[in-house]
Structure 1
């Protein structure tokens, strides 16, 4: 999911913009999930992990990344980008997440 969002956001905000956003999301996610402590953001904006345990905590990172996207580019554009890369996301899931954030 991060790699798919990386393509869209790099076009929108540039490589450095995406890398900064992902690095901040990772910092926030590490506070909730210590398993992400082994993850780092590479210079190209990709993620690297030193262990496999953190794979299960990736959803925490994605949640923070999407939250930051909403803050910086707005909810409407964020939902459009997420729907573009997560093709099988049911509309009801988007609405539930949207309602919970209010």
Structure 2
């Protein structure tokens, strides 16, 4: 049986879930988002430079506002972290927060695919999350170079 390549959103959900675990509060979701994007920041900044990573993240954030309007109150800080401004989390549920961060991650993966191709994008994600279950993701088998 041939493996399927997951969509950007499916990958984003799975990666975020691996960091989120059993997050039940807004603080848990924000911490999971910090860990998830922080790991990518560290890895991609060493390859693209911090300005390159920030540019990709800013574009992913802008694209995500169409799906989750509350993301307009989030900005990319100088260190490449996502930072709340104004009333970003007022009256937000855990699911809304999760959906927003997943949208940003999905768009970031999509931008990586556009610029470096799907296979290399998957290798980058695999090198950031090497212990994650990649068995069912087409394009990650046999490649340990990140």
Q: Compare 59-68 and 26-35 and name the one that shifted more.
A: 26-35
Aligned match for 1:65, one of 95, 108, 127: 108
2:78 and 2:57 mapped to 1: Cα distance?
A: 11
RMSD of aligned C-alpha atoms?
1.6
TM-score relative to the length of structure 2:
0.59
Instruction: State how many pairs are aligned.
Output: 94
Aligned partner of 2:53 in structure 1 is 18
Q: Segments of 4+ in structure 1 off by > 6 A?
A: none
1:28 and 1:91 mapped to 2: Cα distance?
A: 30
Asked if structure 2 preserves the Cα contact closer than 8 Å seen for 1:26 and 1:61, the reply is yes
Query: 1:53-76: per-residue Cα shift (whole Å, max 9, x none)?
Result: 363210000000000011112212
2:102 counterpart of 1:37: no
Deviation at 1:2, TM superposition (A): 1.1
Q: Which has the higher helix share?
A: 1
Residue 65 of structure 2 aligns to a residue whose secondary structure is: helix
2:69 and 2:46 mapped to 1: Cα distance?
A: 31
Aligned match for 1:8, one of 43, 52, 55: 43
TM-score relative to the length of structure 1:
0.81
